[in-house]
Structure 1
Amino acid sequence: MLVFSISTTTLTTEEETAFHRIVTRVNEELHKKYKSLQLTCVSVEGTSYWQCSGNEQRSFKGDSLLFIYQQAAKATAELILELKEQHIIRTLLRNEFNFSGKDESERIIEHCLALLEKGDESPNPSWNRRFLMLAKSLQRCFQETNILNIDGFIAFRLQEYGKELREVIEYTVDEFLVDRQYEEFVGLLKYFVYFQEPLIPVAHVVHKGGLELLLFDENMNPLLRSGHESVFVERINQQDMELEDAVVSTLISVSPAKLIIHTRDAQMPAVKTLQQIFEKRVEICHYCPECHVFFREKEKI
């Protein structure tokens, strides 16, 4: 008596190995509970098969059959997430989003997979939600038929799952476009600074903490932007970065030959932006006599 038969394409050795690993684990669990089950897992010419048969003298039904289908549904959901999800994302990105460049597509896919990955210790909420969504849909499918082709199931039965993947791709594409605009923004300012002659020898940027940045000249006097000489910099993607834009605009206006950034957080976005724009002119200071007063007042920079 055939309890269920599941098949799918496994075109690489890695896919076959993953298929056998997941199925073997579940087979061991099923065999512990039902010794009479005959469980097989084989791969032939690019297709892997998982079959479960019962002893003809024992009919599996009711709670026993429900439990077996639950285990099969969970394992198949895991197979889809591990073996098929990346391919589904690639297909959706190719067919529904206008990214022809291979490098751009790979960056987007890499970001998508990072958002969707299971995680090492415990499943992240997104992975767990998709897993439960798939397992529930698969269990309903097993109640209708005991023969399942995973590739066909993906093509015709996963509207809700596909919708969630599309939302992740849309979010990632938006983030990619913002990042690309930012890179273009920084590149333009780097070009401007490169060809601009220095107007002052040194400028100091003091990061007092949070988003607070102060500008000083070489004598540690406040550096004020002159309205008629300044270059107004407006970030392409407005993200409440008015202060950072004002600092960048002022520094480009005075064009220091050397820019000393006093900070305890060199990874702060504004600090990274200044490093990208002014490149070799930048020196990072974590503590010096010039910024001692700010350490003492705020106990941090």
Structure 2
Amino acid sequence: MVLFSISATTAGAEKVTFESIILRKNKELHKKYKALKFSCVSSEGTSVWQCMGNEQKIALGDGMIILYQLAAEAAAEIILEIKEQHIIRTLLRDEFDFSGKEESERIIKHCVSLLEKGKGTPNEPWKRRYLMLTKSLQQCLLESSDLNIDGFISFRLQNYGVELREIIEYAVDEFLVDRQYEEFVGLLKYFVYFQEPQIPLVHVVHKGGQELLLFDEFMNPLENKSNEGVFVERIDQQDMEMEDAVVSTLISVSPAKLILHTRDTQMPAVKTLLQIFDKRVEICHYCPDCDVFFREKEKI
């Protein structure tokens, strides 16, 4: 008799992943249940994993419970490896107002990065979702030995679904903040492009982290002018912390050229200056003007 049958729609590489997961789990099951027969068949976009044997031989004690637990573990892995990204797409489409393909793809990409299993040993968030799914899938198998994974996803996500929704909400919030920041930086870049230079040169020394120092062309400290101008007020509203005063001052003095002394062009504050001032910026990794700061901090 069929002790359990677990099926799922699979396409392309999903079929290979499904069979790979089942192959690993079958090896574990064969060691524990030598009398049972396991099969995995894929056809017409559907993969089916079946277990056949004499129920009476394993019904004693916790035999069936353990069998269903092991089967549920495989089904949970199938959902995490094959179905999770599809679930995210469906939830984002049905429950969040993002119709643009580019916007949706950015959010999905961020969600996927948050849900990654990690290399080697699975990370804690992945293991938590795996355990939640295993418990729920095992309960489904105890209720009915015929389990369709797609049906389970549609009607029985429970706590796992709640966690996915929270992750999507977080990714959406991050996307909206990033988009607002990008729009604001674009506005500043546009303003700087048409602004007439007021001084020939400003040196920006990146001492490390978000710490930036401003100097004029003679390497004298530049007076902070962060309280001037309409764009300064807009920057303040963006809560840009240290970038706030630096960018405000630079926009106020409008240098024809900006020499940015840094060893890390990927830091947020540095990237912001590169975006706003664009072709006015020259990168310096080391020179006599910034040597003292290199020696003081051993980095900029």
TM-score class normalised by the smaller sequence: over 0.9
Q: 1:230 to 1:50 in 2, by over 3 A?
A: closer
Equivalent in the alignment of 2:185 = 186
Q: Return the alpha-carbon distance in structure 2 between the equivalents of residues 51 and 229 of structure 1.
A: 71
Q: Does the CA-based 8 Å contact 2:4-2:145 persist in structure 1?
A: yes
- Equivalent in the alignment of 2:252: 253
- 2:295 pairs with 1:296: yes
Number of corresponding residues:
299
Change (3 A) 1:69 1:124: same
Look up the equivalent residue of 1:116 and give its one-letter code: L
Distance in 2, matches of 1:206 and 1:156, equals: 57
Q: Decide whether the 8 Å contact of 2:3 with 2:55 is kept in 1.
A: no
Contact 1:230 1:253 in 2 (8 A): no
List per-residue Cα deviations over 1:104-144 (Å, max 9, x = no partner): 00110111011101112121211111000000111122222
Secondary structure of the residue that 1:234 maps to in structure 2?
A: helix
Matched residue, 1:135 = 134
Q: CA deviation at 1:58?
A: 3.4
List runs of 5+ in structure 1 lacking aligned partners: none
Per-residue CA deviations over 1:31-65 (Å, capped at 9, x if unaligned) read 23222111111012222111101147835442332
Contact 1:116–1:127 (CA<8 Å) still a contact in 2? yes
Distance 1:189 1:228, change over 3 A: closer
For structure 2, the 5+ residue unaligned runs are none
Output the TM-score relative to the length of structure 2. 0.93
Amino acid at match of 1:295: F
Does the 8 Å CA contact 1:181/1:236 hold for their aligned counterparts?
no
Alpha-carbon deviation of 1:21? Answer: 0.9
Following TM superposition, by how much is the alpha carbon of 1:230 offset from its aligned partner in structure 2, in angstroms? 8.0
Contact 1:182/1:237 (<8 A) preserved: no
Cα gap change, 1:236 to 1:203, in 2 (>3 Å): closer
Cα RMSD (Å) = 1.9
**Cα pair distance change 1:196/1:66, threshold 3 Å:** same
| Partner residue in 2 for 1:200 | 199
Moved over 4 A (4+): 226-231, 236-239
Seq. identity, %:
71
SS at match of 2:41: strand
Distance (whole Å) between structure 2 residues aligned to residue 89 and residue 179 of structure 1: 20
Question: Could you say which residue in structure 2 is the equivalent of 1:17?
Answer: 16
TM-score (norm. length: structure 1): 0.93
Larger displacement relative to structure 2 (229-238 or 171-180): 229-238
Q: Which residue of 2 aligns with 1:232?
A: 232
Which residue in 2 is equivalent to 1:68?
67
